Structure formats: structure tokens, C-alpha cells
Amino acid sequence: MDRITISGLTKSYGDKRVLDGIDLVVRPHEVVSLIGASGSGKSTLLRCINGLTDFEAGSVTLDGVDIFDESFGRTGLYKRIGIVFQAYNLFPHMSVLDNVTLAPIKAHKVRRAEAEARGQELLERFGLGGFARTYPEKLSGGQQQRVAIVRCLATRPDVLLLDEVTASLDPELIGEVLGIIRELRTEGMTMVIVTHEMSFARDISDRVLFLDQGRIVEEGPPGQIFGAPHEERTRRFLDRIIASGRLGG
Amino acid sequence: MTGRKSRPRGGKQREDRLVPVLVSVLSIVVVFGIIGWAVGSAEQWPRIRSQFFDPAAIMDAFPGVWRGFLTNMRIWVICLVATALLALVLAVGRTFEGPWFTPIRLFVTVYIDLLRGIPALLLVLLFGFGIPALQLPGVSTDGVVWGTVAIVLSYSAYVAEVYRSGIDSVHDGQRLAAKALGLTQWQALIHTVLPQALRNVFPALLNLTIALQKDVALLSVIGVRDAVREAQIYTARTFNYSSLIAAAILFMLATVPLSRLADHLSRKDRERRLQGGK
């Protein structure tokens, strides 16, 4: 069965239609990348998947159940679908470990000792074990973003949404974050990724979707999208990306 | 300054640090010395001194003023706790979103407009004299109680606005992250928004705390025997104003450490977070 099914998704901000009849299926363990120019609706689409943003028409289902179905309760959906933001959005007044354990303890009623043990284990797995008692502002951008990913994983989600997670990072810090995402892929995590890192999208994705003006213009395996795009608009977009030097070997 | 820090330790460095301190001390001594000399040598000074700064009169008035000052402090603490809580309810009420909460938001807005628009002194008179005069059954006729209520109502309007500016200062991404992790709106407020909001406005809150400490003296106009009232009683009896100076000194002794404490706490908090570790 499909993990996520989006059909006819339409969303406007005032008069401007940002998503225009989007249909998309994501299968379990699949990694799907959304590419496109700024304002093409990629991030909005991502936020519709876990109901952070509401929409006028269409539907989103998780394992065949509508995301607004009452069976998810108030927090169930957020437990199943995690999202990581461009600006990390860590809680600056809490230590790294408290950031990671807040949701499991408060929202998902995990016992503190259990949540902390699991949080510490996750931090160690991603090379952050020594920072458990540190406050986020002491960490580098790459470390903060890794903590944000761990914070997400702490609720044991089935799907991870990544919203331009490397866009705020200095170039030399991007690698450590992409490394985690690669690792998650090998573990079979289902992911929907919005990114400007084209070579990363090419390497990690099972499928790439090119969005323009709220519509999916083209979708296919990365080889097709980056190697031989069928659509003129896709080609023009990639030409601009190559000209800016963001699609290297 | 940063350049100096990086230099190796040594006598030269200590000298560098000592010179500005000496200059400061010297300039303070010179400036205030001149002012002191000018005041002291003025023709009117002996009269001013005996009217306001008579040590014997200050000592004489002190027991009464001190008793009154303890009343001030007691009322201050009560006002502080009540104001902090009421203002928090108001500020949080204003953040509720959605059409169902329109009455709450409207009420808070009107409340704040109204109570910030009326002088605290007027409210104290209105409540302290007015409500006991109604002789309502089951309602306290104690002026102190209603005067205190007036001050709490007035200050909570200001404090609520400070809270609100603190809540507004927390980035939307924080609420979004909390929601995306599965926290309810209420949990997001308690665990992520409010702690940051309060920390951001802590200096402003302390400023109001200090202002409140002195505005408790407004209750003297409805006959509460606080420090100011006691000092006035002494003045009325002896025609000497040194008792008011005694009260002034007590108020100052109470507020200055509070200001220093605020500085200290802010600095400690900053250091703790920059150092890492709890």
C-alpha cells in the first residue's frame, strides 16, 4: 500500500494559487525529492502533507487514512510524520537532550527515563552524544540541524519531511547533515525532501519531481530529470542551476 | 578592549586597567566635591539641613516610618504576586486564536485600554473610598483591601502588555516546531513560548516591579499607615520634613539592591547558556 497519497491538492494564499491540483504517491521506504524555483510551492506542499498548513481542496492520506481523520487524535499524525525545518527551530532555552525528549515526554507520554535513554542513544548514534547538556546556541549550524533531525526521530516517525534542511548552512557544514540523511535512507526511512542541493537530490532520490507555479511539471527517476528531462521548463530550470554552479559532478 | 584582552598577563596590563579606575575615582571626587562644597557653603544650607536632614529628627521619626515601611513591603509582595498572575492570564487570553475567543480578546483589549488610561491614584481613591462607602453585604469595607485591588488592576494592564511583547518576540518557528512535534497549542505555550517570552522581557518586568514597590505608597492617600503616611504624621506634628527623607532612604535601600540583582541574574543566565552545560 502507498504510504502517502496526495490527490487534487489545491491551496491559495489570497488570490495567489500556490498549489494547483497536485497528485503524488509516496511508497514505503521511498525517497522523493521536490525541486523547483523559489515560490514554486515545494515547501507549502511539504507542510500540507502533515497538516501544518491547511488547504482548500484535495486530500492527503497516510497509509490510506485521511490525515485529518479523528483516529489520529490531536498529536498522532505529528508522531507519524516528522518535519525538519530550514532554520532548525530548536528551542534555545532547553539543552539538546531536553529538545529531543520534550515531544516524547509531553506529547506522546513516554516516561522521562525511557525518553532520555532513547534520546541519548540517538544523539550518540549521530555523533552528538557529547552535546546532550549543551544549549543549541553553542553548536554550529550543522550540529544544530543534526540535533533537529534527531529531535524528529525521537518520536519514531514513519515519514520524514525535510524542508531545505541545508539551505542555512555554510558549505563546509552541509556534508555532515546530508550524511545523516543518507544513513536514514539505508535504514529504509520514507522521506520527502525539498532541496536546492541538486547533486544530492540526484544521488539520494528514488524519484524527483519538478514543480513550477504550483504544478508538478515533470517527475521521474533522477537519471531522467537531471540527465534527459522531457519538459522544456525542467531543462531551463536545470540550466540556470548549472550556470549557478549548484549541480556539480 | 578585545585587543587588550589578548595580551599576555603582566604588570603592564594591570597598570592599564588601574589607570581608568583611578581617573573615574578622581573625577567623581572632584565633581561631587565641588557640588558638595557649593551646596554646603550656600547661605540657605543650615536651614535646609535642619528642615530635611536633621539626624535627630530622622532618628526620632524612624521607628514609625519603619513600621509603615514594613506595611509597604507586605502590600508590595501581595500586589506583585497578584499582578504577575492576573497579567499572565490577560496576556495569554489575548494570544488565543480563532473566532470563538473573540470575546476574550476584546475583553482584554478594553481592559488594558481602560486601566492604562486612568491614573493609578484616581483608581486608588475610587476603590479605596468608593467601594467601602457602598456598604455592600458580604463585601469588605477595608480601604486597604480595595486600594490594593486598585493597584493590582492598574499594574496588571501594564505588565500584561510587557508579557505580550515578550510573547510576540518569540519567533513563529518555535510554535511551528512545537506543533510539528505533536505538542498542543497549550503545551507549546507553556514549554516553548512562555519561558522564552519571560526571559526576553525580564528586565522590563523588574523595572515595573521596582515602580510597583514605590507606587504602593499611593495607598497613603486613603489613610493606610504606610511609610509615607507615617512620615507625614511626624511632619504634621513637628513641622520638620526629615521624616520624609527617612522614608525616601528606606525606599532607596530597597530598590537599589533589586536593580543590582536584576543585572546579576541577567548576566548569569547569559553566561550559563553561552558556556553550555547546566
For the stretch B127-171, pLDDT in tens is: 999 888 888 888 888 888 999 999 999 999 999 999 999 999 999
Residue of higher predicted confidence among A119 and B45? A119
Sheet strands (E) in chain A? 4-13, 16-26, 31-35, 57-62, 65-66, 81-84, 159-163, 190-194, 207-212, 215-220
Distance CA A124, CA A138 (A): 18
Tens of pLDDT, residues A161-196: 999 998 888 888 888 899 999 999 999 999 999 998
pLDDT (mean) for B253-264: 85
Tens of pLDDT, residues A76-89: 889 899 999 999 99
User: CATH says B74-221 is which class?
Assistant: mainly alpha
What ipTM score was computed for the predicted complex, to two decimals? 0.90
Q: How confident is the model at residue A144, as a pLDDT? A: 95
Q: Does B177 touch chain A (CB under 8 A)?
A: yes
Q: Residue B268: which residues within 8 A CB-CB, separation 6 or more?
A: none
Distance CA A11, CA A21 (A): 8
Pairing relationship of beta strands A57-62 and A190-194 according to DSSP bridges: unpaired
Taking the CA of residue A141 and the nearest CA in chain B, the distance in Å comes to 15
Residues of chain A with C-beta less than 8 angstroms from the C-beta of B177: 85, 89-91
Q: Indicate yes or no: CB of A107 within 8 angstroms of CB of B179.
A: no
Q: Where are the domains of chain A?
A: 4-243
pLDDT at B6 over 50: no
Q: Is A36 helix (H, G, I), strand (E, B) or coil?
A: coil
Q: Percent of chain B beyond pLDDT 90?
A: 52
Tens of pLDDT, residues B167-222: 999 999 999 999 999 998 889 999 999 999 998 888 889 889 999 999 999 999 99
Please tell me the CATH code under which domain A4-243 is placed: 3.40.50.300
Please, are residues B186 and B93 in contact by the beta-carbon 8 Å criterion?
Answer: no
Q: Does A103 touch chain B (CB under 8 A)?
A: yes
From the list A83, A135, A155, which residue is nearest B273 (CB)?
Answer: A135
Q: How confident is the model at residue B274, as a pLDDT? A: 66
Q: Does A227 touch chain B (CB under 8 A)?
A: no
Q: Does B268 touch chain A (CB under 8 A)?
A: no
Taking the CA of residue A227 and the nearest CA in chain B, the distance in Å comes to 36
Q: Percent of chain B beyond pLDDT 70?
A: 92
Distance CA A155, CA A110 (A): 10
Strand order in the sheet with A207-212: A81-84, A159-163, A190-194, A31-35, A207-212, A215-220
For an interface test with A, which of B169, B170, B181, B187 has the most A Cβ atoms less than 10 Å from its Cβ?
B181
Q: How confident is the model at residue A74, as a pLDDT? A: 75
Please, are residues B132 and B143 in contact by the beta-carbon 8 Å criterion?
Answer: yes
Q: How confident is the model at residue B277, as a pLDDT? A: 43
Q: How confident is the model at residue A232, as a pLDDT? A: 92
pLDDT (mean) for A240-248: 75
Interface size between A and B, measured as CB pairs under 8 A: 77
From the list A83, A93, A137, which residue is nearest B195 (CB)?
Answer: A93
Q: At A192, list the grid cell.
A: 520527502
Please, are residues B72 and B226 in contact by the beta-carbon 8 Å criterion?
Answer: yes
Pairing relationship of beta strands A190-194 and A159-163 according to DSSP bridges: parallel
Q: Where are the domains of chain B?
A: 74-221, 225-262
Residue A140 burial (CB count, 10 A): 13
Q: Indicate yes or no: CB of A78 within 8 angstroms of CB of B273.
A: no
Q: Does A86 touch chain B (CB under 8 A)?
A: no
Please, are residues A220 and A208 in contact by the beta-carbon 8 Å criterion?
Answer: yes
Tens of pLDDT, residues A123-141: 999 999 999 999 999 999 9
pLDDT at B19 over 70: yes
Q: Indicate yes or no: CB of B177 within 8 angstroms of CB of A155.
A: no
